[in-house]
Amino acid sequence: MLSFLLVLFAFELCHGSQRPLVIGHRGTAYLPELTLASQSMAHAYGADIIEIDVCLSRDNHLIVIHDINLDGVTNVADVFKNRSRSDGFHYVIDFDLHELRSLNVHERVRPLNGTQVFPLRFPSKSNVHFHLSTLNETIELLLNLNRATGRQRQLLIEIKKPEYHSKYNKSISSIVVATLKSYNLTQSTDPIILQTFHIEELMNIRKNLSSQLRLFALMTWNYVGESSSDYDFYRSEQGIRNLSKVVQGLAPDHQFVVNYDGNGTIISTSNFTKWAHQYGLSVYPYTFRKDLFLGSSFEQLVEYFWHEAQVDGFITDNPDVILELLQRGQISASSYTIVLNIFLSMFTFLFHIIRI
Amino acid sequence: MIDISGTSSSSMIIIGHRGASGYLPEHTLPAKALAYGQGVDYLEQDVVLSKDNVPIVIHDIYLDEISNVASKYPARHRSDGRYYAIDFTLTEIKTLRASERFDHRTGKPIYPNRFPLNQSTFHLVTFEEELEFIVGLNKANIDNNREVGIYVEIKEPSFHKNESRSNFSEIVIDILRKYNYTKRTDKVFLQCFDLEELQRIRVQLKSDLKLVGLLSDEKHRSIYKKNDFSYWISEIGIEDMATFVDGIGPHYSDLYEQGTTLEPSKLFNDARKHNLFIHPYTFRSDANLQPFATFDAMLEFYIDKLKVDGLFTDHPDKVVRYIESKHKQSNTGIKLQSSSLALIILSIAVIIL
């Protein structure tokens, strides 16, 4: 009886102190994505991990940008009028670093008509001069912010479209791994995680580049055409088992983790997380954006993924909101824990007295 | 005010001094973003004019302690060897790399444990850019019930007047008006060390903005030769000041009498007597904290004992954490007491039965 109580005591202590990881997607929702200001804000809000994307410039610099073209987030069309391709877009890989540095970055717009993709966010027509940064600048920001604040946040680097970059005879992954190495970031214990949608590229990074850094596998629907990988296979039990030999975590489209009905209501949890956990993998679905939800439905969504689906973390544009939700739940859990612990200790003490 | 769910333990405002300058290069957008994320109520801007009369957010009238101006434009210093912001156009200032503050003679950082020199890339911004930055952030945060205010200092009006820019304050006020910051009910403060300039702003320019009279500490008084500080900090001076400012921004050491027990100073009492709010500067956890033993002890004195109305800090997260821990203590204490008492009674009842 006593040992049972002690085990219960210990279990309560451990459970009360765990919470899902919060990953600040491109920094936060409140500033133009991926800018150093947006990353700084995510750091301030306490995001455990800050997520960024990298693409290559013509002169092989790693540019922190989500798209392979510049038209969604910069004024490239105004600055370089004759440098678009036949589809009307301006591609990062067609520009050198010094040219990219001359651009102004803004909140995301639809290139065809200039309308803001997320209308409630930072105004895209604002006159504030944000800039594109390099992976080096981002690493320097993070490591030194960690040191100055005493808070250790991690960097999750998505390598964009490795197959596309290969067509230009560029191995983007090699350049990423080499850049990280120059900052002494090579181990699984370093605050760096790499991820990409191209599953075979993850295997290349692990086996051919011999990297020991932690890896996450991004997953989406095959029809999107993100890469040549077969996600129908990789999200099956066997696929997950395969992945578990190479990666440490999975970053799936949230629709793989739960089943939605036609109205967007969650009906049930899929087997995805169960299989992932079975094979020792963590699950971090994307992307939790508060401005796509009305009222308290965002909170309900987060609660479901946390308590029912039991994911290991959230990739979110609103790390502050999710952290606040988790902490509010946590606070009632921890005072409950304190009270329970007092009760248990009293009970064991009294039990002892009675037995003696 | 920090919105701690429930009652807040103080209605004090936290002003991000040059942003969260304890962690990132002062007056850069990442420093302001960090401060916003850490929970400040106001972001502070110092403004100085460029050659083409654009207000730039920079603390000094010089560029050479927070940027690479000396290496980028080596010949453009004055005869005293310094590089003045007013000698450079906005376009030129925008080509500079902003950095953590360093001594221009030695090249060494002033605060060695802050963000290192020569890491990552930062820029200087205009006052108007920073206003758009804050306005944009507030718009993006409407759902979060978050509105951060403007706290702008007009730097060295006399210097600017000598450079034939006697309308510096007008330029700043016009920009504020463009963004709808005009009234005392707006979330904005206008501060200056030059009390006569503040009087001009109130009386001649008829501004309705909240004005803050900055008072320099002993060490820096010699810089402001024109202002007679012994007048302004006297009882009569405070009474005079109270006719055109709404509050004072003193150095924190001027708020207590020197001695073994820290009693409020005459300045503190005079300000209170004339209903002036008090926003002392600057609370830095990595500076000399004497006579306080720790940063928290310092905060306790100003926040809980003197109950100042606001404070300027380089480390907003530490101030927020201090206030939250005080609030949590009072909450948890109550919860623990009542529930453990109930359980003790219950357990005793169980034993007896």
Closest to B172 (Cα-Cα) out of B324, B53, B329, B16: B53
B70 located within any domain: no
A221-245: average pLDDT? 98
Which residues, in sequence order, are bridge partners of residue B247? B212, B277
CATH number of the domain at B303, please. Answer: 3.20.20.190
B306 located within any domain: yes
Question: Which of A125-129, A202-206, B341-345 comes out lowest in average pLDDT?
Answer: B341-345
Residue B251: active-site member: no
The residue among B8 and A256 whose pLDDT is bigger is A256
- Say which of A45, A138, A291 has its CB closest to residue B37: A45
Q: Where in the sequence is the domain holding B261, given as residue range(s)?
A: 13-61+122-350
B314 located within any domain: yes
Give residue-wise pLDDT tens across range A196-223.
999 999 999 999 999 999 999 999 999 9
Which residues, in sequence order, are bridge partners of residue B113? none
Q: What is the CB-side half-sphere exposure of residue A266 using CA atoms within 13 A?
A: 18
CATH of A2-355, one of 3.20.20.190, 3.20.20.70, 3.40.50.1100, 3.40.50.2000: 3.20.20.190
Which residues, in sequence order, are bridge partners of residue A302? none
B78-93: average pLDDT? 98
- Cβ neighbours around A307 below 10 Å, total: 9
- At residue B196, does pLDDT exceed 80? yes
Q: Which long-range contacts (CB under 8 A, 24 or more apart) does B173-178 make?
A: B173/B201, B173/B205, B173/B207, B173/B209, B175/B55, B175/B127, B175/B128, B175/B131, B176/B131, B176/B150, B176/B152, B176/B209, B178/B128
Interchain contact, B120 vs A127, CB within 8 Å? no
B304 located within any domain: yes
pLDDT tier at B83 (50, 70, 90 boundaries)? very high
A91-109: average pLDDT? 98
C-alpha R_g of chain A: 23
Gap from B114 CA to chain A (nearest CA, Å):
6
Count the domains in chain B: 1
B313 located within any domain: yes
Mean pLDDT of chain B: 91
Write down the ipTM of this complex.
Answer: 0.90
- At residue B7, does pLDDT exceed 90? no
Which amino acid appears at position A100 of this protein?
L
Gap from A147 CA to chain B (nearest CA, Å):
8
Question: Which of A98-102, B159-163, B220-224, B272-276 comes out lowest in average pLDDT?
Answer: B220-224
Question: Which of A72-76, B182-186, B213-217, B296-300 comes out lowest in average pLDDT?
Answer: B213-217
Q: What are the boundaries of each domain within chain A?
A: 2-355
Pull the structure tokens for residue A270: 């899929």
A41-52: average pLDDT? 98
Q: Do A160 and A173 contact (CB within 8 A), yes or no? A: no
Residue B17: active-site member: yes
Pull the structure tokens for residue A56: 């290559």
Collapsing DSSP to helix, strand or coil, A25 comes out as strand
- At residue A17, does pLDDT exceed 90? no
Question: Which of A11-15, A91-95, A255-259 comes out lowest in average pLDDT?
Answer: A11-15
Pull the structure tokens for residue A23: 């990953």
Interchain contact, B137 vs A127, CB within 8 Å? no
Q: Do B47 and B153 contact (CB within 8 A), yes or no? A: yes
Which amino acid appears at position A216 of this protein?
F
- Cβ neighbours around A339 below 10 Å, total: 17
- Say which of B37, B123, B139 has its CB closest to residue A44: B37
B191-202: average pLDDT? 96
Hey, of A149, A291, A331, which one would you mutate to test binding to chain B, going by the most B CBs within 10 A of its CB? Answer: A149
